[in-house]
Chain A
Amino acid sequence: MAVFNLNINGKQQQVDVDPSTPMLWVLRDHLNLVGTKFGCGVAQCGACTILLDGMAVRSCITFVDSVGDKKITTIEGLSENGDHPLQQAWLEHDVPQCGYCQAGQIMNAAGLLIANPHPSDEDIETAMHGNLCRCGTYTRIKAAIKTASSS
């Protein structure tokens, strides 16, 4: 066990966990931030995507001792009132079916838009490749990202 000071959604948080604990479980089990989802544990589905200094990473393979003072953003902290352009676009397009993958999709899209504010269809497909949606909402996700990127 070791103590880590983490910057999460703009707040300093302290956790006492094994250094090999993935951020996914630090968020979910220790900090009660369950918006970040567990889907595969091996960086294959994207359900656990968070931002690390604005870059989309898979929290299931991001170990707590590798974070340092980088800023972590989770779905809960993407916007204060749930009104990030992506969240709004997601609601406008009524994207979710079961909804389970969507936090990861939105966080990955957020990373994409930071790096590339006006992605082409192909940019979107490439960037979103690692995010599975078992319900098949891909067409709506793409439409929502385009709406958000033009707003």
Chain B
Amino acid sequence: MTIVKTKLDRRSFIRSSVLAGGGMLLGFSWLASSCSTNTPKELSMPDEWFEINGFLKIGENGLVTIMSPNPEIGQNVKTSMPMIVAEELDVDWKNVIVEQAPLNTDIFTRQLAGGSQSIRQSWPALRMAGATAREMLRQAAAQKWNVPIEEVSTGAGVLVHRNSNKKIGYGEVASAAAGLPVPEEVELKEINDFSIIGTSRKNVDGFKIVTGQPLFGLDYKKEGMLIAMVAHPPAFGMKLKSFDATDAKAMPGIKDVFVVKTYNDDYELQWSDTTSFNELVAVVGNTTWEVMTAKLMLNVEWEPISDSNRMNVPSGLESTADHIKKMTEAGAKTGSEVRRDGDPEVAFKNAAKIVEQIYTAPFQAHNTMEPMNFFADVKEDEAVLAGPIQTPEFMEKTLAARLGLPLEKIDVQMTRMGGGFGRRLYGHFMVEAAVISQKVKAPVKLVYSREDDMTYGVYRPAYHALYRAALDADNNLIGFHVRMGGIPSSPLHANRFPAGAVDNYLAESWSIDTNISTGAFRAPGSNFNAVAEQSFLDEVAEAAGKDPIQFRLDLLKSAQENPVGERNDYDAARYAGVLEQVREKSGWESGASDKNRGVAAYFCHNSYVANVVDIEMKDGRPVIQKVYASTDCGIVVNPDAAVNMIEGSIVDGIGHAMYSGLTFNEGQPEQENFDSYRLIRHAESPKEIEVHFVKNEIDPTGLGEPPYPPVMGALANALYKATGERYYHQPFVKNTFEA
């Protein structure tokens, strides 16, 4: 039996009085019809809802509404988070409907989509919320029957008095339960007793998605709403000089054209704010097409920024050729030392064999399928914003500062997002929408075209890595050296494998400044480290004459038994676990194989993933026949959804390593839509993906990012088998086969 303190102080748990009839549909009047997000229920909507705590309310007929606290970007938390509450509440999933919770940091912790942390960090709170409500319902039943609470048990939304076998539905005591004090401690279910967690439940928004109902920010509408678009400088390192709005203003349907200043001069930037383009020209009108057309008629002059601009953005118009040159130079020099074990210099001096390689990766645009957009309705004393944002909590603060309104007067509503991948951590578009709405004194939806979206990105940085390995005469790995850097940040994770497995280890880091805006991109840093490190280890294993899986397992064994250093941030046994599982499931044979297969494993964002990729060459092009994945993310909350996430990450990883990159000429992105920026398409994705999980009872970790990086390494290693060439520079397609 697991008893936990509820830890939910009264302030953090909304004490609910019994709510008046008609339910409380929070915010989102446009979504009111769609509050019942699941497929049709047996129970109809109740006449009254009783809010037991901020996470859930129960109708008099037993229907339960569970709030999904975090932003939904396709990682399926809108289904899996409520599943956890429902499990501890002990209700039948078919009687649960899910609503997107409002932004309310008094009740919910960390309402953010990022770092693959939604499930991991909310796991205790979600369980507690369900268990607390269940306890209060038991209490209410006990009082009603005048029996001790210990004699009242629950099952699928029904309270049972064990001795008399009296039964009553949750709905019938919900009103009484809502008035009870919050218990100090509650009992959690044993993992063995889970009946919802660990079973596959369909996406709660699935029906709405396949029938095209409004769900996304871009679908948001309000009476009297205007459409706005913004023009930003054509190149990084440029700013607005002047503009002539006459032609644009004369276009049909256009209301106004003016300059938007995203952040004021005295505003102190937070990490989720961007600085590249602070002055934009806004075009506001009635309909999207009218505004798009009028935007083309803008006559704007741009000029290079100076060195002393207040955002501290370096001046200059940067090109990819310069980036490569600068990274090559930086990679050839000693970087700043981040970790040292033993005496790497001596190890390399004494080595019988040294393997040394350089790896690079380009800037990449996030390219969420739904371009950036946001709705804003800013009035003198309050503001309502709605749309796709991964960091509502941060942006609410930014907005309060920018609009000069108190925090509680800003209402941020979260819509389903057409992808995030990190791009929507940076909500400058929310501020732009708000400033435009404030200026035109009307509700406004700001819309980015695909070109706007791709050329005003917050891109994945460009990366560069030098790897060196020292082998002794018996082919033991005696020294390891990694020197990593990027524009503008280094992806190095110095304490990750193979740190801890090698006696003599050196990790260095460097970075180069830029005026190109960059930020987190699915599995930041790891999305490069995994491919570079895992291709390199493959090459080292080959040089040592060892099977690539066994080579890694031997290193992991030594990291487990005799770890070098104390800061190693991975669990070597779990790491080895996924490699062993993928070896078994893929029928991996050491030595010669008639398949062109590559392997890789990586740990990031608290989960472990290993892949085997099988490639066949057809007409000189690689066809990915099959990908195996083994994952250890602890308890799997919603297995089929987890499989979907892993399959998607595999396709995404292969796509980005193989095809995607953004290049610059004089500060200007050279790709601006999907005709020039290559994303993976149907025929290029694997013919088959087979997903396995390592089963254990460890609290769940994340899945949005961990399955993304390793497959790129496995791909590079399989490509080597298929073509006889190593793939050091992304996108791989540039190396040999042109697409």
Contacts and interface: CB of A to CB of B under 8 A. Distances in A.
Given A99-B418, A124-B682, A136-B680, A40 B209 contact: no
Contact of B289 (A25, A36, A102): A25
Q: Which secondary structure dominates chain A's binding surface? A: loop
A124 B681 CA distance: 12
A40 to B, nearest CB: 4
Interface stretch (B86-94, B431-439, B637-645, B725-733): B637-645
B707 to A, nearest CB: 10
B659 to A, nearest CB: 12
A51 to B, nearest CB: 13
A138 B651 contact: yes
A17 B73 CA distance: 34
Contacts of B689: 139
Contacts of B673: 40-42, 44
Contacts of A42: 450, 673-675
Interface in B268-321: 287-290, 292-293
Given A44-B674, A45-B674, A98-B369, A125 B289 contact: no
Contact of B206 (A32, A47, A91, A136): A91
Given A29-B288, A40-B673, A142 B682 contact: yes
Contact of A125 (B221, B368, B682): B682
B288 A99 contact: no
B218 interface: yes
Contact of A94 (B203, B214, B447): B203
A6 interface: no
Interface string A39-65: 111101101000000000000000000
B252 interface: yes
A26 to B, nearest CB: 8
A134 B679 contact: yes
Given A128-B682, A135-B652, A98 B73 contact: yes
Interface in B683-711: 683, 685-689
A38 B647 CA distance: 25
A76 B682 contact: no
Contacts of A45: 369, 450, 674
B218 A37 contact: yes
Given A124-B682, A125-B682, A136 B651 contact: yes
Given A28-B288, A91-B39, A102-B209, A139 B685 contact: yes
Contacts of A70: none
Given A44-B675, A94-B641, A136-B651, A37 B419 contact: no
Contact of B649 (A33, A125, A136, A138): A136
A140 B644 contact: yes
A136 B682 contact: no
Contacts of A76: 211-212
B449 interface: yes
B686 A139 contact: yes
B137 interface: no
Contacts of B650: 136
Nearest to A132: B679
A76 B421 CA distance: 28
A126 B712 CA distance: 25
Nearest to A40: B450
A12 B232 CA distance: 40
Interface string B195-229: 00000101101110111111110110100000100
Interface in B581-607: none
A75 interface: yes
B370 to A, nearest CB: 5
A34 B369 contact: no
Interface string A97-119: 11111110010000000000000
A1 interface: yes
Contacts of A37: 216, 218, 369-370, 418
Contact of B74 (A29, A99, A124, A142): A99
Nearest to A22: B289
A97 B76 contact: yes
A78 B209 CA distance: 13
B113 to A, nearest CB: 11
A100 B203 contact: no
Task: Please classify the interface of chain B as helix (H, G, I), strand (E, B), loop, or mixed, using the class held by over half of its residues.
Answer: loop
A98 B218 contact: no
Contacts of A1: 252
A72 to B, nearest CB: 13
Interface residues of A, number: 62
B460 interface: no
B249 interface: no
Contacts of B227: 29
B367 interface: yes
Nearest to A122: B683
Given A34-B214, A98-B416, A129 B685 contact: no
B216 A100 contact: yes
A141 B212 contact: no
A36 B212 contact: yes
A123 B245 CA distance: 49
Given A29-B288, A42-B450, A101-B369, A82 B214 contact: no
A85 B368 CA distance: 28
Contacts of B419: 98, 100, 134-135
Contacts of A124: 682
A69 interface: no
B252 A38 contact: no
Contacts of B214: 34
B450 A97 contact: no
Contacts of A102: 209-210
B444 to A, nearest CB: 14
B27 interface: no
A96 B203 contact: yes
A105 to B, nearest CB: 9
B47 to A, nearest CB: 26
B171 interface: no
A112 to B, nearest CB: 11
A22 B288 CA distance: 11
B203 A136 contact: no
B221 A96 contact: no
B417 interface: yes
B648 interface: yes
B362 interface: no
A25 B212 CA distance: 15
29 contacts: A18-B289, A20-B293, A34-B212, A35-B211, A37-B370, A37-B418, A38-B371, A40-B674, A41-B292, A44-B675, A45-B369, A91-B39, A91-B207, A91-B210, A94-B202, A95-B644, A97-B75, A98-B73, A98-B368, A99-B216, A99-B416, A100-B419, A121-B687, A125-B682, A134-B368, A135-B74, A136-B649, A138-B651, A138-B685
The 7 A-B pairs at the shortest CB distance, nearest first, are namely A35-B212, A100-B418, A136-B651, A98-B74, A75-B212, A44-B674, A97-B74
Given A40-B450, A103-B209, A138-B685, 10 more contacts: A25-B289, A44-B675, A45-B674, A94-B641, A97-B74, A98-B418, A99-B418, A103-B210, A124-B682, A139-B688
